[in-house]
Amino acid sequence: MSPALKESVLNDTVSRTTASEFALDPADAERLANLAGPFDGHLRMLELRLGVEIANRGNIFRISGPKDAVPRAEKLVHALWNDAASETLDEGAIHLRLTEAGADRIGQDYHPQDVTIRVKRGTVRGRGANQQKYLHTIAINDINFGIGPAGTGKTFLAVASAVEALNEGRVHRLILVRPAVEAGEKLGFLPGDLTQKVDPYLRPLYDALYEMLGVEKVIKLLEKNVIEIAPLAYMRGRTLNDAFVILDEAQNTSIEQMKMFLTRIGFGSTAVVTGDMTQIDLPRHQKSGLKDAVEVLRGVDGISFTFFESRDVVRHPLVARIVNAYDARDATDKETGPQG
């Protein structure tokens, strides 16, 4: 990039950003801790949802970011400071304040912040734009959809986000859900209790958990019911508060099951729905609940959709080529009809 062009880009960026410094009075350490949350978790939540950066030294705050977002963020911090004087703030209270302020409509022109997840195996980061966007939207939205072919990391990153939320105390339990639909072959009668019966369907989720937490810790958390395994049919009638819920293989849900699952979400909870539209194992006449949800819910505030493509595949390079080959064949069949 030439010096002139670099200076032009820099000037353009500066013209679209601003910063504001202010004091929250009266100075009160306990009130400040209430506002900031455990490990500054409330401030990080504000940053992610508003697209700004918040720094403070005691009660002196500095907010920087897009010009349209900074004044609204400052106003929201002042409102929360007033609330912190008379009530104990938690994630639910912060979320409600953000919703009232129309946070999802603030700072729409900023780029997703790079989210780094820390787990037992080290750190997990998004590879490529779609994975980075996916992690960012999981951090700021209550309901998230990750849709795309196998090998794009949609389930792995959801589990990583869930483990981090549990480790940081942002949720009290993890709930792993999957429709018990056979993938083209008959498994026959499965002996054992409920968990053992659905284990074969949930193996990819277990594998991700083992990698994140280690086998022994996963077993202990399962025994304590901190991690819960549930077939989708058993979710009816429940309300899930302070939980991180992952619905995997969602392309095999019915429309009624998908609606039922999405309406289980309570305060302090995050839901991630993952699926691959090209691997639907439902009867031919039955519409996928995932496909229906994309049509009905796109554009609804607080619900995010990330669509992965073959170029996002992070497995063996042949996997991406296989996905492309099948996609090309399906496109041809749509135009000319299936070849006998």
pLDDT at position 98 is 76
Burial of 163 (0-12, 13-18, 19+ CB in 10 A): buried
pLDDT at position 64 is 92
Contact 143, 158 (CB under 8 A): no
CA 105 – CA 113 distance, rounded (Å) = 16
Domains of the chain: 20-105 (3.30.1370.10), 116-336 (3.40.50.300)
CA torsion, ordered 330, 291, 244, 97, to nearest 10 deg: 130
pLDDT at position 63 is 94
Tokens of 318: 């042949």
pTM of the predicted model as reported, rounded to 2 decimal places? 0.64
pLDDT at position 107 is 45
* For residue 115, pLDDT beyond 80: no
Contact 97, 62 (CB under 8 A): no
SS3 86: coil
pLDDT, tens digit (0-9, with 9 covering 90-100), for 265-309: 888 899 999 999 888 888 888 999 999 999 999 888 889 999 988
* For residue 153, pLDDT beyond 90: no
Averaged over 107-127, what is the pLDDT? 62
